[in-house]
Each structure stands twice: as structure tokens, then as C-alpha cells.
Structure 1
Amino acid sequence: MIEWLGLHTAYSNQFSDSLLVLLVLMVPLLMGGVAAFWRPQRRWPVSFVILMALLTLGLLALFLLARQILEHGSQAWLIELGPLALHWRANGLTLLLLLLTQIVTLASAAYAPAYLKSEVGRGGAQAWLWPLQGVLTTSLSLIWLAGDLLTLYIGLELMGLAAVGLMLLPGRMEALAAGMRYLLLALVGSLAFLLGVALLLGGWGRLDLAGLAMLAEPGPVLWVSVALLSAGLLLKAAAFPLHAWLAPVHSSAWTPVSALHAALVVKGSFFIAVQLWVVLVPEAKAAAWLVGAMGGAAVLWGGVLAWRSVKLKDVVAWSTVSQLGYLLLGFSLLIGTGPTVAAVAWEGTWLQLAAHSLAKAGMFLATGNLIFSTGESHVKGLAGASRRMPLSLLSFGIASISLIGLPPSGGFTAKWLLLHAALEAGYLPWLAALALGTLLSAAYVFRVFRYSFVEDAEPLDYRRVPWSMEFFAMILALASLLLGLVAEWPLLLLRAPGGEP
């Protein structure tokens, strides 16, 4: 399976190839700096022209990189910085994740100006939103491209620091408390990750994943290092039972920040964990079953807590815990199973990641619109919102279609593939988890709509939601729905030469 990660490729020394990768990494940083210097609320024409030019450059670089990979297969680069050697690679999976990152972060960044102007007001902290988003996008892109543990660690730490900074921006006491708690847990996860890296380096003297795949041998050193690496990453990914920090963080964060965090930040840690298991312990069936059991518990526990949550943002946050459980189920279907099961599970896992990212980002933006308009943060406070907030409720509902797993959404196609893999493997408990998870998802979604359609509620003083906030919530929600109709395209990327299941 290591070939699916694009790690077994010859290094490219062409300057044009390296330049494309550098542009993909650097353009988000430049866009964040431009948005901070020429803030969109104040100098929109100037910032718009510069940002569109940078965006065009970044998308062109991504397009050229995609064409090269689809034509010639996986690409790899060796960057030597004195005694350090950084290994980068790109394949179809990398392209899918890079494109997903661009879509979600651009929608979140474009949603932010109207949100900050209408909801937050003026304040010096606003200027830090876009630079931190740029750092977050670059760090995620670095994680998708990394082929060694050193680069992965750099990307992981940059991502964590940017995420903490974004969480602290509101400046309120509850935001500071939640952000500092998140920082503390992120540091604990980083420490566990570093200890695991140190064991691998001491045992085999290599940090590149391809080299470790050839040299690492089963034994106490490998098992302890993988356990440390996994514990640190699963803590950062809010995987059950290490998830308690997630809901408080989202409750106090700005809406576009919550969308980014739930859609992308937790996925970065998950991506690294899957890579390490595929590279280091591809036959650890018993351990993969344990992670799969954690996933099943996450699906049920997160769904129950989302159904019982009082606050609207908590519903969406606990829904994230539940939906991440499906990704954990993928561990047990990828590790220690036959090639047919693993191939189907590989496609289902990454399609589920993409569908959930789009749907959850759209749902958080729609939730922010509902809270902004009604001034109510509780689910019961939505009573009567159906008449005054039809577009936001529609965006929430369309995103929910993918989370529940109804056709023709991307979530349906992904869960169908996971269901097929579980049937092929004979893992009957996973079938029950998938079925119960679907019912719980429907329960907490329809609970929101139940209150929204109460007709005899007292009239609220609704505020008009800016069109851009409605627009980008709808775009992301529709993207999660349409992903199921064009699912063959992302699956084509996963099957690109050098990375096909």
C-alpha cells in the first residue's frame, strides 16, 4: 500500500517542478499578508486586484502540477539544506487534498469580511485573521506534500500554532480559556509525536518514510514509537476518547475559524496517522481493530451528544466527533486486510474526508448565519426561523444530507464504499456502527429543523445576513452534495499513476 502514498518515486531535479510546489506553498502566505495590509473592509478594490492576481498564480501552479502528475505519475523532490534533507512528494491524493484545502480556506476567507464587519465590529485582532489563515493553509499543504517525519513535524507545529492563534482572536475570557486549553493539549500531542520520532531515528537512523518502510522491523521499539506517534496525532485530531477539548473551542471561536478547524485542521493529524500506519505497521490487524472500535464508539457517542446538545454550535461540534469516527473505522479496513478490501476502503476513506470537510465547513458557516441573524445561540432559540432565514436553513440542510449519508451526496458515496469494504472483510460490527451513525445524524439534524419550523413562536428581532455570508455557506454545502455526482473525478485522482489502489 505504500505505493498509494507516492513515496516510491525517483527524485525530480527540474527547477520548474520545484517552482510549482513552492508557489503552491507560498501563495497562501502572500495572500494572507496582502489581506492584512490592505484589509478588505477598508480598501476592497486594491486588495481584490492583488488577491485575484495571487490566486490566479496559485491555481495555475496547482493546475500545472496536476497535469504533470496525471500524465507522468507521482513526483518527488529532495531539498537539501546543509545536513538536513527534506523529502517532498505529490500524487493524486496530494492533489485532492491541496484542492480541498484551497476551496475551504478561500470560502472561509471570503466569508470573513462581512462577518467581521457585521458581527465583530472594529478591532486590531481582525488584521491577524488572514495572515493566520495563510499560515494554516501553507502548513496544511506542507503536510500533504511531506515525505519525511521532519517536514511533517514542521507542518504539524505550524498548523497547531496558527490554529491556536485563530482561536484566541475573539479576545473574550472563554475564548482565551478554550484556546489555552487547546494549546496545552496540542503541546502534549507534539511531545508524544517527538518522542516517537526520536525512537525511530535512534532505531534506524532515517526520517524519510520510504526509507523507514524498507528498514523498520517489528519489535518493541517500533510498536512503542507508533503508539506514541498515534496518541499524539489522535489527540490533535479530537479522536474518541481524546475529544473533550473540541466543543469548548468551537463554542467561543469566530465562525470562519470554526469552519476551518473542523474541516481541515483535525484532518491533517488524521492524514499523518494513516500514512505512518501504512508505512510502519501495515499488518497490525489487532491494533487497527482497536482504532476501529474507537471509531465506532466515536460515531455513536458523538451522535448522542450532538442530539442532546443545547447550543447550536455544540451540535455541529459533536457532530464532528461523530463523523471523524468513520475515518477511524478506515484504519481497521486498511490495515491487515486483503488488497481488495483495502483498495475499496482507501477510496472510501479519502472521499469521506473530502465530503465531510466541505459539508462541515458549510454547516458551520450556515450555523454562524443563524446565530448572527437571530441573536440566539441555543437550538430552541431558532423557533420560527424558517420564515426569516430560509437560505441559511437550506444551506444547513444541504450540508446535513452529506453528513447523514443520503444520496446523491459525497457522504453517501463515501459511506457506501466503506460499507462495501466492511462487507467484503466480514466486519459486521462496523455495519451496525454505520447504520446507527446514520440514524443519529438524522436525529440531531431534524431536531434543529423541528425547532426552526415552530410557527407559534414569539417574533424575534432578526438581523439581515449579508449576501456574501449566505453565498459562501451555500457554495460549500452544494459542493458536498455535488461531490457525490462527480465522485468519479476525485476517485480518478486517487487512481492516478503511481498512486492507484
Structure 2
Amino acid sequence: MIWRFGLYESTFEPQWYSHWALLAILVLPIFIGLLGAFFTPRRLFPVALACLPILLAGALLIVDYLQVGLLRWQWDIAGVELSLRFNGLSGLMLMITQWVGTAAAMYTPGHLQLTNPGKHARWLWPLMGVLISALSLIWLAVDLLTLYAALELMGLAAVGMLLLSGKPDALKAGMRYLLLALVGSLAYLLGVALLLGYWGELDLKSLVEVVEPSPVSWVAAALIGAGLALKAALFPLHGWLTPVHENAWTPVSALHAALVIKASLFMLIMLWGILLPDALFAPRLVAWLGMLAIVWGGLIAWRAESLKTLVASSTVGQLGYLMVAFPLLLGSAVSPLPGALAWEGFWLQLMGHSLAKAAMFMAVGNLIIATGESSIKGLAGTSRRLPLSLLIFGIASVTLMGLPPSAGFTAKWLLLQAMVMTQQWVAVAALLIGTLLTAAYVFRVFRYSFDETAPRHQYQPLAPGMDLIALCLALAAFALGLLAHLPLALLQGGGA
């Protein structure tokens, strides 16, 4: 599986423009964010214009990859070797990051205008820029030191965005999130220290060549896995997730649920592929926890009274789908065909969930702003005045439920094929139960929204573009299922 992450020698040098594109995707978000702090945008058009060079830089890297194959950069700084690479998987994750980041940035002016959080809200822009740059670095890094630096930068930016609201509940949730993130970082660092002390390597490609199954690699994998699972809110280490989303601003929740927790999961799969190449117990343990997560997250979302609690709890269950695929991604006992199907289904599910979850949080944020109600029962009668926000919620839900022809359907079809081939019938049942539970809590929202006997309320009009931005994300998740051959072709090119 290691070659899928681009951990091999590249044949050709990157084109000249790729160096500038790399610099742009890592530096421009921070620079533009700082500009936003001092010249706060009040309309979405300037934000879209500012994001255009970043999107163009990402597209140039993908074009170069399609022409010459794996792209690698390497520097020696004060005796420490830092490495970056760009392959098909990196390109897909970078595209999702840039699309969701651009959508969240364009959504932010309208949200801040309607909620009027105060002057300190301008610091959301540089923090958002740091977050996007750190995420881009995680998709590209191939050494443990750069991965750790990017992971910490991303976590601090996420905590900072949460604390900006200044509310007591947000401060409490933010401090809990910060402390648990630091615990996860400590566990990760202890695992890295073991690897460095025993094998003397930080570069992932070099680790692939020297790591052997031993108690050292097992303990390091356990420490790194525990730290990253805590940061990714994988069941049962998800207790901090719901309070964070209940108190975060809508664009912060969209970025966090769509991207931040996925970065830790990305690192976990990559590092376990190196440290546990032939493991059986660890991937199966994660899969069983994933099955529990699907049921637990679905039940909590079904019984939730708050809209944000419902969406945050559903994230726990949706991450369970990815956890269930671990035995098909790790270990040498899996046949090539089921392994390939699971690999494609895993990343397609992750991308579809990122787009749909960001759209769902934005739709829920629009409903809360327009009605002034944060409870599900408070939505009674909203179908009369807010049909577009409810439509966006419904389209995003189609992807989460896995109904055709969305990305969720295509991804689950691939995962189910792999599970049937390997006779993992309990996992198949868990996926089907998860689909029914998702439908249950989604239709619970619509049950109240279409209550025609509810009294008419006063609604606050939304800022221009807030619904349109969320609709574009929801439709993108929907279309990803119809056009799944395009990202999958880029994904399969990782071993060219």
C-alpha cells in the first residue's frame, strides 16, 4: 500500500512552474488571511477573487503530475532533511481542501454580517489561512517532523477559530479541545521518538526500508495511532467533538468537520501502513470500533434535540464507515481486488463526506440564523419560508445516506463489494444499519420542518450567496458519484 502514498523515487523533475505553484499553495493562504484581518471583506466577490490564485496553483500541480508522474521536493535545513511529494492522492485531498476552504471563506462575510460577533472576528481570516496552509502541507509531507509541525499548526489554528466567539461555553469547549489535542500530540511525539531512537530515520521512504515487525514498531504504532485517533475524534475518543461544533461559528464547523479531522485519519492510515504492514489485530480492532461508531453516532443523532448536535453526532457515525475499511487497507492477507476496491471506496467516501458535511453545516447555520432557533423542534413550519436551505440539507443527506447516484452510494458500493468478497458480513450489516439510522435522523428534521400546523414566525433574511455556496457543495458531493471515474483515475495513477 505504501506506493499509493507516493513513497518511492520519482523519475522526472517537477516543471519550473510547479515550484511556484507549491510556494503559492503553502504561503498564499496565510498572506491573504493577514490581508483579510486588516482589510476585512464584506462581500463574497473579493474573497472569491483572492482564492482564485490558490485554486490555479493547485490545478497546475495536478497538470504537472499528470504529465511527469510523482513530484518530489527535498531540502536539507541545518542537517535536517525535509521532503515533500505530490501524487494522485495528494492532489485529490488538496482539491477538496481548496474547494471547501474557498466555500467556507466565501460564506464567512455573510455569516459575520448577520451574527455581528465584534471586531475580534477579523482574526478569523488569518487563522483560516494558517489552517488551509497546514492542511496542504499535511497532504504533501513525507517526513515525521514536517507532519508534526503541520499537525500542530492546524490544531492551534482550529482551536483559535473556536475561541474567537468569546462565549463561556466556547471557551470551555476550546480549552478541552486544546488539552486533548496536546495529549494526542504528546502520544504522537513519543511514538516518533521511539522510531528516531531505534532506527534513526524521520523520512517515511527511508522508514519503509528499515522498519521491521518488532515490539518497538508495535509500541510506536500504538502511541501514534492513539494520538491521531484522539485528534480525529474516532470512536470512542470522540467526546470533545460535539461541544466544539455546538459552540463554533458555522464556517469553522464546516472546515473542522470536512477537513481537520480527516487530516489525522490520513496520517494514521499512512503511518500504520509503514509500521504495521502485516498487522491483523490492530486493523480489526479499529473495524469493530467503527461498527460501534456507526450505531452509536446514528442513535445519538436520532435522539438529538439540537441541530448542531445532530450534525456533529452524525460525523461520529460517518467516520465509522472509514474505520470499518481498515482491515481491507492494511495487512498483506487481503487479496488485491478487494484491497483495491476498498482503497477507492475509502477515499471516495472521505471526499463525499467532506463536501456533504460542509454543505450540511452551512445549511444548518442558515436555518439557525434565519429562525433564531437552534433546536430541531424550533424548525416547525420553516418549509414555507426557507425551502432552499432545507433542500440543501436534503441533498447533502442523500450523500450521507448513500443513496444513488451520490458519492456516498458509489463509495459504499465499492466498500460493500470488498466486504462481500472477504466475507465480512458483520461489517456489511453495520453499513446497512448505518444507512437506516442516517435516514431516521434526517427525516426527523423534515418531519418538523413540514409541520403545516405550526405558527408563522418572523425570519431574518440571509445574506446574498449563503444558500448558493452551500448548494454548490451539496451538488458537488452529489455529482462526485456520477463522475467518480475522474477522481478514481487520478487515485489509481499514484503508482505510475
1:279 partner SS: helix
Counterpart mapping for 1:122-201 below 5 A: 123-201=118-196
Q: Identity of counterpart residues, as a percentage?
A: 56
Q: Are 2:366 and 1:369 aligned?
A: yes
CA contact (8 A) 2:273 2:330 kept: yes
Q: How far is 1:248 from its partner?
A: 0.6
- CA offsets per residue over residues 306-359 of structure 1, 9 Å max, x none? 000010100000000000111111211111212221111111111111000000
- Note the residue ranges of structure 2 that are not aligned, 5 or more in a row: none
**Deviation of residue 15 (structure 1)?**
5.5
| 2:69 aligned with 1:73 | yes
1:77-128 Cα offsets, whole Å, 9 max, x none, are 1121121111111100000000100010110111011111112x15122111
Whole-Å separation in 1 of the counterparts to 2:148 and 2:97:
19
Instruction: Give, as a single letter, the amino acid of the residue that structure 2 aligns with 1:413.
Output: T
Return the match for 2:435 from 435, 438, 441: 438
Cα offsets for 1:265-307 (capped at 9, x unmatched): 0000000000011122121022110011111111110000000
Where 1:484 maps in the other structure, the secondary structure is helix
The change in CA–CA distance for 1:293 and 1:466 in structure 2 (over 3 A counts) is: same
Residue 388 of structure 2 is aligned to residue 387 of structure 1: no
Structure-2 residue corresponding to 1:203: 198
Matched residue, 1:220:
215
Once residues 169 and 250 of structure 1 are traced to their aligned partners in structure 2, the CA distance between those partners, rounded to angstroms, is 13
Specify the alignment match of 1:243 in structure 2. 238
State the alpha-carbon separation in 1 of the partners of residues 314 and 294 from structure 2.
9
The CA distance in 2 between the partners of 1:431 and 1:85, in whole Å, is 44
Q: Distance in 2 between matches of 1:164 and 1:26?
A: 21
Q: 2:23 — aligned with what? A: 22
CA shift for structure 1 position 54:
4.6
Counterpart secondary structure, 2:84: strand
| 2:35 matched residue in structure 1 | 34
Rate the CA distance shift 1:469–1:159 in 2: closer, same or farther, 3 A: same
- Asked if the contact 1:9/1:75 (under 8 Å) is kept, the reply is no
Q: Aligned residue for 1:270?
A: 265
Equivalent residues of 1:93, 1:499 under 8 A apart: no
CA distance in 2, matches of 1:431, 1:122: 46
Q: Is the partner of 1:218 in helix, strand or coil?
A: coil
Q: Distance in 1 between matches of 2:384 and 2:259?
A: 33
Answer yes or no: is 1:114 the counterpart of 2:110: yes
User: Which deviates the most, 334-343 or 234-243?
Assistant: 334-343
The aligned counterpart of 1:230 is 225
C-alpha distance after superposition, 1:183-238 (max 9, x if no partner): 00000000000000000001100011111111011111100000000000000000
Specify the SS of the correspondent of 2:404: coil
Equivalence for 2:447: 450
- What is the CA–CA distance in structure 2 between the aligned matches of 1:52 and 1:416, rounded to whole Å? 35
- Map of 2:350 onto structure 1: 353
Q: Is the 8 A contact 2:211 2:274 kept in 1?
A: no
Check the 8 A contact 2:117/2:165 in 1, yes or no: no
Corresponding residue for 1:398?
395
Q: Tell me the alpha carbon deviations over residues 469-498 of structure 1, each in whole angstroms, 9 at most, x when there is no partner.
A: 1111111111111111111111011012x4
For residue 52 of structure 1, report the CA deviation from its aligned partner: 5.5
CA distance in 2, matches of 1:27, 1:411: 32
State the alpha-carbon separation in 2 of the partners of residues 36 and 241 from structure 1. Answer: 38
Asked if structure 1 preserves the Cα contact closer than 8 Å seen for 2:14 and 2:64, the reply is: no
Aligned length, in residue pairs: 493
RMSD: 1.4
Q: Determine if contact 2:242/2:309 at 8 Å carries over to the other structure.
A: yes
Secondary structure of the corresponding residue to residue 495 of structure 2:
coil
Q: Decide whether the 8 Å contact of 2:73 with 2:85 is kept in 1.
A: yes
What is the TM-score of this pair, normalised by structure 1? 0.96
Amino acid at match of 1:8: Y
- Greater alpha carbon shift after TM alignment, 181-190 vs 286-295: 286-295
CA distance, structure 1, for counterparts of residue 19 and residue 173 of structure 2: 39
Residue in structure 2 matched with residue 60 of structure 1 by the alignment? 56
Cα distance in 2 for partners of 1:482, 1:17 equals 29
**Paired residue for 1:99?**
95
Unaligned runs of 5+ in 1: none
The DSSP-based 3-state class of the residue aligned with 1:108 is helix
AA at the equivalent of 1:311: S
For the pair 1:10 / 2:10, whether they are aligned, the reply is yes
